Structure 1
């Protein structure tokens, strides 16, 4: 695909875990993922016919945690000036604003959490534009990345500026959102299986969300029954 074509979604999310089998068991309990182990030790996790996540051990230079794999460009590893990374993969986009609505356990949104303004980097490399989420709203601390299309632009990712203390504590990264049909049930199941509920279910502009850390400390955000990619942002 030509490099001037905007990236329009995810191929998958990757979970880099020092215990791939343990991580797979935990998320299978939450979402009912169909987990298919490969000979190389990776775990391919499916929701129906769509690959939701790939779980594998990090290589020496990688940090454990979620990693986004974006579709539609030649293969590349991107790293912005703040050190946040993403992979480009030329395969078909499975998750995004032009894909089918997210099902339980599928990626449904991603959000760049950073202490530095690296908007220009991602806009340049992915063909995105940045906008405030409402009329007259300040572009900081939260904004939306849009991917343009012949029919107009659609919200494809969020960007949240966090203070340096939060960045030092949690790191800067792409936050992975996963769809949950019953968010209270998923948070209860997370706690029962060794996870930690960091934010109880609550209403936010995106919809009803919660945040949980798995037994290995990796955090994801849950979004209840999103109407489309990004929950409420799908309607903007």
Structure 2
């Protein structure tokens, strides 16, 4: 994945919320947008709008895809070939869509057993998940690594966010679903050992 973008009505409030929960360093960008960083890696950009999370995949030929996603050229920042995700960094994406063939064609992936895999660098790696229903996240759901899911959920509540689904076990590990005070529903994954957590063994 090349980058994540969150489009919300109040970018400053939203980036402050996620910075407070996920430990981002925030940089104000031109045009009233913001970027959140973990060390030297961009975690997400936050802009004005109402589209929610937008997933931008790396690839040749910039183009729009379904479900608020796109492809753009440039360095891929997050994924199975990147370093282990740190607290506050994206660590997984999954799509609530029955059209596995569409994503396989558009992104050059192989769909099998509820996940998509890629041979982009020679050895197959799990790059994304899929489900047939809308799920709690809808569209492309994004996950962030956290050191302690329960503690992160406590921080969400303290900062006027919402814990949509409390910590529970999943195929990826211990997860919770949260939302900021102005939207941006996403999931937290506790201490993933790599992209997708336990799903890399799928």
Does TM, scored on the shorter chain, surpass 0.5?
Answer: yes
State the structure with more CA Rg: 1
Q: Is the 8 A contact 1:35 1:43 kept in 2?
A: yes
Alpha-carbon distance in 2 for matches of 1:171, 1:155:
20
Aligned mate of 2:170, from 181, 201, 204: 204
Alpha-carbon distance in 1 for matches of 2:104, 2:195:
19
Alpha-carbon distance in 2 for matches of 1:150, 1:57:
35
In the alignment, what sits opposite 1:87? 70
Q: Does 1:68 align with 2:55?
A: yes
In the alignment, what sits opposite 2:110? 129
Alpha-carbon distance in 2 for matches of 1:42, 1:87:
19
In the alignment, what sits opposite 1:3? none
Q: Is the 8 A contact 2:137 2:185 kept in 1?
A: no
In the alignment, what sits opposite 2:132? 161
Gaps of 5+ in 2: none
RMSD value, Cα:
1.5
* Alignment size in residue pairs: 202
Alpha-carbon shift at residue 171 of structure 1 (Å): 7.8
Give a deviation string over 1:10-40, Cα, whole Å, max 9, x none.
1111000110000011001101101101121
Runs ≥4 in structure 1, deviation > 2 angstroms? 149-152
Q: Does 1:108 align with 2:91?
A: yes
Alpha-carbon distance in 2 for matches of 1:178, 1:171:
13
Give a deviation string over 1:115-164, Cα, whole Å, max 9, x none.
xx2111111110001011xxxxxxxxxx10111145431110000111xx
Gaps of 5+ in 1: 1-9, 133-142
Q: Is the 8 A contact 1:210 1:222 kept in 2?
A: yes
**Alignment of structure 1 residues 19-34 onto 2, 5 Å:** 19-34=10-25
In the alignment, what sits opposite 1:96? 79
With structure 2 as the length reference, what TM-score do the two structures score? 0.95
